[in-house]
Structures are given as structure tokens and as C-alpha cells.
Structure 1
């Protein structure tokens, strides 16, 4: 196999990775708090040591998948009227206690469990500023959440929603459409800006992602055709060599 085919295959591999990321973005275009992802590619340069190379032929450029990064742009706020729905303005994440440990999320679609615990849609407890689950009293019916996350009811203050930021945004990993796993420490946001009765929509622009997907498909098809034509050319060359030697 010639180097041209290897170079083309490296691009095919990265295009396939890009398609997977775009497909995941589209699948979560309506997921509250979801942040779209993009891939970062770069050139991997390989110097050739053979003699008699044509001008410019001493370097080969392969496509390399460097990283996937999240777009942390604020999504639009959508009014819901549900007193337990909360949107974060600016930086920060809610803390959710799951069976696998504490996770972060921007999705503030919360509900009340039978024991009064405020949880996400999967039943995972929402944590306060001390890292403890927030529970309402059985007699609490009127719930007010202030901009700093303080939860007030007719019986008093039930707690304060903890909002944190990870030490390194580049070390935050997606787990499904809503949860994030942060490596390292998190820091409490000193002055969070929360809005009750609203949700932050996904920041994915469906039309933009569809356009990106079509571009990736065209590139993939073009490169695949090139690889196929190269394979045919090599097979024809081998056949001619065998014929000449027979």
C-alpha cells in the first residue's frame, strides 16, 4: 500500500470521528443544558529520508485527531412555569449524586421525590453548597428559589443549591446527554445567577450541525472513492508486472 493511501485513510478515520460527534450533537439538540461538541484535527508531519524525492516531497502530512472540545456558549432560556425548574446564567454546574459518584449538569429539570428530596429526572439527588441532598418538608407546598440558589418555603429555608465550576474545563467528560464527570477539584461559584421556572436549552444549532454533517459525508465519499481508485490502480499495476514476467 502506498503512502498516499495511508494519508487518505488517516483522513477517513478522522471524518468518521467527526460524524460521530455531529450525530451526538443532533441527538441532543433538544436536551436541556446540553453543550455541543466539536473535534480538533491537526496535521501530523512525517519527514521522508529517501533520496531523489521531488520538490516538496520530503514531508508527508497525515490527519490526526487531537481532541474533542465542548462549546460552553450559553443556551437560550425557556420559561416552563415549573417551580423546580432552574436555569443557570453564566458559568457553573449543578451537582448531582449518582450511583457512580457526584456528577455535574447544566440541566435544571428537577422534581420532588416522595421523601421530599429534590432530584433530577433519573432520581439522582441535587446537592447543596455542602454537598448534601436537599430535602423539603412534607408540609412544604410553596417553593421559591432565589437567584443565589436559596430554596425558601412556607416553613423556612430548605437549603441552597450548590453551583460549582471544574478546575479544568478540558478535563470534563460527557456521560450521556446531561451528566458530566469532572476530573480534579471543583470550586463553588461565589455569586451564581439562577432563574426559577426556566430551563437552559441546548446550544446546538440543528441547521448548522446538519450542514456540517453533509460536508463530512461529501468529504468521506470523496476520500473513499480515492482509496478505491488507488487500490484499483495498484492491482492493475501488479497484474501488468505479472503478465510481463510470465
Structure 2
């Protein structure tokens, strides 16, 4: 396989990953608390080939290597809902959520109370305070959430939402959950203001992402055409063969 083919193929794979990433952003433009995904790319130099008898050593080939995916840290717009259990974080921070896979974190503050009295996400995942899941007794179901995260019923203070931040990057898990690559750091109560009766919308710039999707599709088709024109039918068949 020639150097030109390898370069075209590398570029095609990188474009495909970018297309998948942008398509996912567009699909989640209306997902509460979703943060647009970005891709990190870097140059990869393939090892130089040994000389082929003429005494000259081949040069390394510069290829595209997709590094890692990371969420855009910018906040989304705040949308008023009037629902007393809807909460948006104003500024930095994440809600802590318990999942079967362990503790995860989210900006999606659309909460509800399940049949057992637990405060949960719309997917049924328990919302955490510093002492664990938040449970509301049947006679206390009329609850309010204050701007500092304190949850109260008419009878008592039920608990306080656990808010955390991270010094390192986050990894997206699903549509609006994240897991940290560094330990979660608890934010003191009252240090971050919450907007009650509101939700943070996705931070996806839909027009920009749609334009990017169109540009990437054209680039993919162009590189695919170059790859096809640079190869014989037999070589293309080899590229398309997937080992068992």
C-alpha cells in the first residue's frame, strides 16, 4: 500500500470520527444539560521504511491520529420552566448522581420524586447529598429547593444538593452524564447559586454544527474519491476486507 493511500485513509478515518461527533452534537441540541463534544487530534509519524537497495532511508509519513473526546465546558442558556424541582447551576459545578456503574455527574437538573420518595433524575437515578441519596417522606412531598441547594419541606430541612467541581478533564458518559478523570471536589454550600424553576439547555450551537456537518460531509466525499482514484480494484478490495 503506497504512502498516498495511507495518508488518504488516515484522513478518511479522522473525518469519519469528526462526522460521528458532530452528528451526535446535532442529535442532542435539545437535550437538557448536554455539553457539545469536541475531538482532539494530533500528528502521528509512521516509522521510516528501511532503504530498498538504493542506500536511502525512507522518510516517516505524517498521519492524523484522533486523540480523545472532551466536552465543551461553556454553559448552556438558562430556560425558565416554573417547575419547583427543576434546578440550573449558574456557573461552574455538577450535580452528583448515583448510577449502577458508580457515581456520575450532570448539569441536567430536571428532578422528580419516585415512588419510594427518592429525589431522582428523569432516568430514575438518585440525586446525592453529601450523606447519600435524598429521601422525602410521603407526608413531606411538597418540597422546595433554595438557591443554595437546600431542600426543605414544610416540616423540616430534608437535605442539601451535593455540588462538585473538577480540576481535570471530564469524560462524557451517555447524553448528559460525566465521569471525572480526577477526584470530585465538593463545593461548599452556598458557593454556587442555583436558578430554581429553570433548566440549563444544551450548549450546542446548532447552526454552527449543521454547517460543520455539511463541510465535513463534502470533505469526506472528496477524500473518498481521491482514495478510490489512487487504487486499483484489487487494492480497494483489500482495504474493504475485515478479518474474522
Q: Does 1:152 align with 2:158?
A: no
Paired residues of 1:48 and 1:60 also in contact (CA < 8 A): no
CA distance in 2, matches of 1:41, 1:30: 27
1:198-238 deviations in whole A, cap 9, x for unaligned? 00000001111111111111111111110111014998xxx
TM-score, with structure 1 as normaliser: 0.86
Report how far residue 44 of structure 1 moved: 2.1
1:137-181 deviations in whole A, cap 9, x for unaligned? 322254322222011221121100000113422xx2222112222
The number of equivalent residue pairs is 229
Q: Does 1:86 align with 2:87?
A: yes
Root-mean-square deviation over aligned CA pairs: 2.1
Q: Secondary structure at the match of 1:180?
A: strand
Structure index of larger Rg: 1
Q: Does 1:179 align with 2:177?
A: yes
Q: Does 1:188 align with 2:189?
A: no
1:65-111 deviations in whole A, cap 9, x for unaligned? 12222101010000011100010111111111112211111100100
Paired residues of 1:141 and 1:154 also in contact (CA < 8 A): no
Stretch deviating more after TM superposition (176-185 or 103-112)? 176-185
Q: Secondary structure at the match of 1:125?
A: coil
Stretch deviating more after TM superposition (158-167 or 59-68)? 59-68
Paired residues of 2:130 and 2:161 also in contact (CA < 8 A): yes
CA distance in 1, matches of 2:175, 2:233: 45
Paired residues of 1:93 and 1:105 also in contact (CA < 8 A): yes
1:242 matched to which residue of 2? none
**1:27-106 counterparts in 2 under 5 A?**
27-46=27-46, 47=48, 50=51, 58=59, 60-106=61-107
Paired residues of 2:71 and 2:172 also in contact (CA < 8 A): no
Paired residues of 2:69 and 2:171 also in contact (CA < 8 A): no
CA distance in 2, matches of 1:119, 1:141: 13
1:104-135 deviations in whole A, cap 9, x for unaligned? 111001001123211001211110123x1112
Report how far residue 59 of structure 1 moved: 5.1
CA distance in 1, matches of 2:230, 2:104: 48
CA distance in 2, matches of 1:13, 1:44: 13
Report how far residue 27 of structure 1 moved: 1.2
Runs of 5+ consecutive residues of structure 1 not aligned to the other structure: 236-246
Q: Secondary structure at the match of 1:216?
A: helix
4+ runs of 1 displaced by more than 6 Å?
none
Runs of 5+ consecutive residues of structure 2 not aligned to the other structure: 236-244
2:24 matched to which residue of 1? 24
CA distance in 2, matches of 1:186, 1:167: 8
Report how far residue 49 of structure 1 moved: 6.4
Stretch deviating more after TM superposition (225-234 or 80-89)? 225-234
Q: Secondary structure at the match of 2:230?
A: helix
